[in-house]
Structure 1
Amino acid sequence: MTLIKSISGIRGTIGGKPSDNLTPIDAVKFAAAYGSWLKNQSKDETVKVVVGRDARISGEMIQQLVMNTLIGLGIDVIDLDLSTTPTVEVAVPLEKATGGIILTASHNPKQWNALKLLNEKGEFLNGKQGAEILEIAEAADFTFSEVDALGKITKTTHYIDTHIEEVTMLSLVDAKKISEANFTVVVDGVNSTGGIAIPRLLKRLGVNVIELYCEPTGHFPHNPEPLKEHLGDICELVKEKKADFGIVVDPDVDRLAFIAEDGEMFGEEYTLVACADYVLSKNPGNTVSNLSSSRALKDITEKHGGTYKASAVGEVNVVELMKETNAVIGGEGNGGIIYPELHYGRDSLVGVALFLTHLAEKKISVSELRKTYPSYFMSKNKIELTPGLDVDNILKEVEEKYSKEEVSTVDGVKIDFEEHWVHLRKSNTEPIIRIYTEAKSQQEADDVAQSMIKEIKQIANLD
C-alpha cells in the first residue's frame, strides 16, 4: 500500500494506516492544508471551491470527507459530484471560484484515489504552490471556523452539459459537418465518468454511439490505462459492429485514444498529432508536448510552418511552456489534448470534437488518416524502485556514458540519437523509473528499451 505526496497533489491506495496510505485522516489533512492555503492567498471575503470526482468506488467517501473539511474551514463548496477532470477545470472560472479539487487517480487501478488541486483559473498548481501546501499539511497548521462561519455546499449537475456546449461552440468544431458524416463510434468509458460525458457529446454532434463499459460504477472492467494490451474488447467490437472507429478514455477523461475501423490502435501518441494537424491547418502556430512524447508532433508542426518545443513531463510544465511560446495547441503523448481556446488543461472532449471535424473534412477512414503521419513506434517500460536505491546517481551515470549524444536533463535524462531516442525519469506518482523509447520500428524501440533496462540494472546491481 502506498501514499505519495508530491507538488502535484496527494495520491495513494485506500485503506491501511494513516500516512502510509490514503486514509480518511490523510484526505482530511490534505484538504485542510489546501483550504487553508487558499484562504491565505485569497483577497475575497468568501472562498469557494469546485469539487468533482470520477466514478471510482472510494470517490464518494473521499468527496464527503474533503467537502466537509472545506466547509469546516468556512469555505463554500460547489459539488459537481460525478464529473471529469476537464469539466471541473472549465467550471472553476465559470463559477468565479477560488480553486478546485478533482478526486481521481487518473489511470491507476481501482484501489487508488487522489486529490488533484486547481487554482482560480482551473489550472493545476505550480511546484512552489504545491510545496507550500505540503508544508501546511505537515505542520497541521489549520484554523477551523466557528459554528456561525461554516461554509455551505451547493450541488449542481449541469456542468458536463455546459462543458459539452463550450466544446461545440469552439471555432474549429463543425457540428454540421460531423453530423452529415453520419459516423458510428464505439465508446469505452471504463465504467467511469467518460461513460457519461463522451456519449453525451457524441450524440450532441449527431454521431451514432455504441456504448461499452459506460456505466459509472467504478468497477473497471480492464486496466484503466488506455493502452493496446488492455483494449481487446473494444477493438473486437469496432470490427464486429463495422463502426467508423472507437474512442477510449481513462477514468477522469483527460487521456484519449482512438481505435481504427480495422480494430487496430490509431496510436495514443497520435491523438495529439492528428488534432494538431487539423488545428495547424486552420490556424498555423507553435506547439508543445513533453519530452516523452513522439517526434511526430515536431514533424507536423514544422510542416505547417510552426515551431515545436518540449517541456518537462507534467501538465503544469506543458502549460507553462505553451504560454511562453504562445502555442495554439499542445499536450502530452499519452493522449492528452490541451487547446487554449477553451482552457489550459488536458481535455478528451475537446480532442474528440477536433478529431471528428478533421475526419469529416478529410472524408477518409481512420486507418487511412494514420498513414498520412510520420511513422514512429514507442516502447513504454518501467523498473520498480527498491528502498535505498540512488536513482539520481543512476541517471547521472547514464548521462555521462552518452555525453557525446544530444542529451537533455530538463526532466530526468533524455538521449536523442539520430534514429531513435530514450527518456529516463523518476515518476512523480509511483515508485518507479519510467523508460520511454521511440524509433522507426516497434522492434527497434523495444530492443532499445530492453538494452537500456539491462544497463540500468547493471548500474544499480539489480540483476
Structure 2
Amino acid sequence: MFGTSGVRGPVGEAVTAGLALDVGRALATDGAETVVVGRDARDSGPMLSRALTAGLTECGADAVDVGVEATPTVARAVARTDADAGVVVTASHNPAPDNGLKLWTASGRAFEEERNERIAAIVASESFEFAGHDAIGKRRDAEAATDGDARRSHERALRESVAITEEISVVVDLGNGVGRVTADALHAAGCDVETLNAQRDGRFPGRPSEPTAANCETACEVVAATDADLGVVHDGDADRMMAIDERGRFVAGDALLALFARHEAEPGDRVAVPVDTSLLVADALAAVDAAVTYTPVGDAYVAAEAAKPGVAFGGEPSGAWIWPDRTPCPDGPLAACVLTALVGAEGSLAALVDDLPEYPIRRDSVRTDSKRAIVNRVAALADEAFDDVSTLDGIRAETDAGWFLVRASGTEPLVRITAEARDEDDATDLFERARDLIDRAAADHD
C-alpha cells in the first residue's frame, strides 16, 4: 500500500475516500491521539481530508487541521503542536489526477517502513478500534490549537535559521502549488522577489508539477531576461526545490546536491545520498575530507540516515533536501533560503556550478516482465565479477574508474541501468558491462 513516499496514485482508483477513511482509522487504532492534517491544492484534497479526519475521530483521535499548506509546513507543525503524527493529503510532484497520503512522526519525519507496514496491516485486516459515543475525537483548526498559523511559524523558523545578508533578486516559481512560504520568507529577509505561477490551483495550469528542466523553461527564460541572481522552483507541495542560475540555466540535481553537501559538511562528516547519486557529490565531499553514505532511493530513506550521528546533510538529486539539525523532513522553502544565502555570500550561482566537474553518465532501461528475477540474478553475477558490490537498492558496482547501478523500476516493468565515470571511455565500458550482466541474467532466466 505504501511506496517510498506514502500512498500515491490516481484518485478514484488507487486513492479513494474509503482508503483515506481507513488510514485515519488505522492511525488512531495504532495509538495516535492527536494528528495534524494538511493538504495541497488538488481538487480532490477536501474530500480526502474530510474522510481522513472522519476516520481519525471515529476511532478516538483528535485532528488538528492546518488547511492548505506546504508539506514541510505541515510536518513542522506536528512537533510544534505536540501531536503524535501528521498526515499530508498530497501527491507531491505527480500530475493533477493523482493524490495521496504521506504520514509523519511526532518529530516531523516521514514514517519509517516498519510503521507504514503496521498501518497497512491494520487497514488490510480491518482491525479498527472504534470509539464509543463519549470518546469520539474532535476536529480543531490549527490556530485554535496553537499560538499562530502553521505558515507564519514556518516562515519565522526560516528567517531565524538562515541569515540572508545581501540584497538578492530571486524568481520564485511556485508551480501553482502551496509553497508561498518561500516567497514570504525571502521577501521578509529583504530579497527582491518575483513570483511565477503563484496562484494556487491543483490543476497545475502554469506548468506540470514536477520541477524538471523541461517543465521549467519559462522560469529559466524569465531569470535570463531579468537582473535576477537566481531562480528557485517548487513542486506542488513544496517539499522539493530546484534552482536556476543567473544565466537562466537549470541546475542539475547532482550539481545542486554537491553544492549543498560541500557547504554543509565539515571534515569527518557524512552526507546521506541515494545509490543513484553522481560521483560529483563524493568527489566534492572528498575535497573537504567528508564522505557520502548511501541509502535506497527515496527521501524517507535519506531522512532516516540523516538522523544518525555524524550525518550533516541529506539530499536527493530529484530535489529533496534535509538539514537534520533544523528539521527532519525535506523542506523546499528551507532549501530555497539556504541557496539564496549561499549565492549572496559567494556572488554567483553560475560560477559555483561551473566550478564543478562534469562526468559522463549513461542511462537506459530494459523492458521485462521478470524484473525482480533478473535483478536477483545480476546480483549473483556482479558479485563474481566485481570486488565492490552493494545490494542496498538494486546492484551498485564500484571501480576505481566509476560505478554502475542496475535497479528494478518501482512502478514499471523495467530494469534500469545507470553508469558513470570520470571519462567517456570508462563510462561506456561500465555501461556495457552492466548491460552484459542483464543479458546474461535474462538468458539464464529463460
**TM-score relative to the length of structure 2:** 0.88
- DSSP-derived class of the 1:11 partner: strand
Residue 398 (str. 1) matches residue 378 (str. 2):
yes
What is the one-letter code of the residue matched to 1:104?
A: T
What is the one-letter code of the residue matched to 1:276?
A: A
Aligned to 1:66: 52
Distance 1:245 1:417, change over 3 A: same
Distance 1:149 1:354, change over 3 A: same
TM superposition shift of 1:63: 1.0
Residue 270 (str. 1) matches residue 250 (str. 2):
no
- DSSP-derived class of the 1:136 partner: helix
Residue 323 (str. 1) matches residue 310 (str. 2):
no
- DSSP-derived class of the 1:86 partner: helix
Distance 1:312 1:284, change over 3 A: same
TM superposition shift of 1:397: 3.0
CA distance in 2, matches of 1:54, 1:312: 27
TM superposition shift of 1:8: 5.2
After superposition, residues 329-340 of structure 1 pair within 5 angstroms as: 329-340=313-324
Distance 1:306 1:418, change over 3 A: closer
TM superposition shift of 1:359: 1.3
CA distance in 2, matches of 1:33, 1:154: 20
TM superposition shift of 1:399: 2.8
Moved more, 291-300 or 114-123: 291-300
Q: Deviations over 1:324-377 (max 9, x none)?
A: 3421112222222111121111111221122122111112x2111102223235
Contact 1:7–1:134 (CA<8 Å) still a contact in 2? Answer: no
TM superposition shift of 1:441: 7.2
Q: Deviations over 1:188-207 (max 9, x none)?
A: 1111112x122112112211
TM superposition shift of 1:259: 0.8
TM superposition shift of 1:384: 6.4
Contact 2:371–2:413 (CA<8 Å) still a contact in 1? Answer: no
Q: Deviations over 1:303-341 (max 9, x none)?
A: 222232112222332233333342111222222211112
Distance 1:52 1:426, change over 3 A: farther
TM superposition shift of 1:433: 4.5
Contact 2:306–2:322 (CA<8 Å) still a contact in 1? Answer: no
Aligned to 1:96: 82
Residue 12 (str. 1) matches residue 9 (str. 2):
yes
What is the one-letter code of the residue matched to 2:121?
A: E
Residue 218 (str. 1) matches residue 209 (str. 2):
no
- DSSP-derived class of the 1:100 partner: strand
Distance 1:251 1:384, change over 3 A: farther
After superposition, residues 191-230 of structure 1 pair within 5 angstroms as: 191-194=176-179, 196-220=180-204, 221-230=206-215
Q: Residue 67 of structure 2: which of 81, 92, 101 is its match?
A: 81
Structure 2 unaligned segments of length 5 or more: list them: 144-148
Aligned to 2:159: 168
Distance 1:201 1:438, change over 3 A: farther
Contact 1:286–1:325 (CA<8 Å) still a contact in 2? Answer: no
Residue 35 (str. 1) matches residue 32 (str. 2):
no
Aligned to 1:107: 93
Contact 1:266–1:366 (CA<8 Å) still a contact in 2? Answer: no
CA distance in 1, matches of 2:432, 2:74: 40
After superposition, residues 342-381 of structure 1 pair within 5 angstroms as: 342-363=326-347, 365-376=348-359, 378=361
Contact 2:95–2:208 (CA<8 Å) still a contact in 1? Answer: yes
TM superposition shift of 1:98: 0.5
Aligned to 1:411: 393
Contact 2:175–2:235 (CA<8 Å) still a contact in 1? Answer: yes
TM superposition shift of 1:278: 2.2
How many residues align? The count is 436
After superposition, residues 223-242 of structure 1 pair within 5 angstroms as: 223-242=208-227
Across the aligned residues of Structure 1 and Structure 2, the Cα RMSD in angstroms comes to 2.8
TM superposition shift of 1:142: 0.9
Contact 2:28–2:60 (CA<8 Å) still a contact in 1? Answer: no
Distance 1:445 1:352, change over 3 A: farther
CA distance in 2, matches of 1:111, 1:444: 42
Distance 1:229 1:327, change over 3 A: same
Aligned to 2:40: 54
What is the one-letter code of the residue matched to 1:159?
A: A
Aligned to 1:254: 239
CA distance in 2, matches of 1:445, 1:107: 31
